[in-house]
């Protein structure tokens, strides 16, 4: 049986407008979910997400 107290961890691949406007806010509204990582090819976008959300950012090459 799964641990009910455990959170579902999500990583986002690409940080475009759909991620920013719909997907990530939805994760934030779910009590059992947390954003943990971002994969992006845009270093500026990675910096914004890390600063705003405290995520670990990865490049596509990682």
Task: Go through the domains of the chain in sequence order and give each one's CATH number.
Answer: 8-58 (3.40.50.720)
pTM of the model: 0.65
What is the per-residue pLDDT across 43-62, written as a single tens digit (0 to 9) for each?
Answer: 888 888 888 878 888 887 77
**Which residues, including other chains, have CB under 8 Å from residue 9's CB and lie 6 or more apart?**
33, 34, 35, 36
C-alpha of 18 from chain center: 12
The enclosing H or E element of 27 equals helix 24-29
C-alpha of 20 from chain center: 9
What is the per-residue pLDDT across 2-37, written as a single tens digit (0 to 9) for each?
Answer: 565 689 998 888 877 888 788 888 888 888 998 888
pLDDT value, residue 1:
47
Q: Which two tokens stand for residue 55?
A: 């995520």
pLDDT value, residue 38:
84
Contact 39, 58 (CB under 8 A): yes
């Amino acid at each position: 049986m799964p641990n009910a107290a455990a959170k579902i961890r999500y990583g986002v691949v690409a940080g475009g407008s759909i991620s920013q406007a719909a997907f990530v806010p939805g994760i934030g509204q779910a009590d059992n979910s947390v954003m943990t990582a971002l994969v992006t090819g845009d270093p500026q976008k990675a910096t914004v997400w890390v600063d705003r959300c405290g995520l670990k950012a990865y490049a596509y090459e990682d």
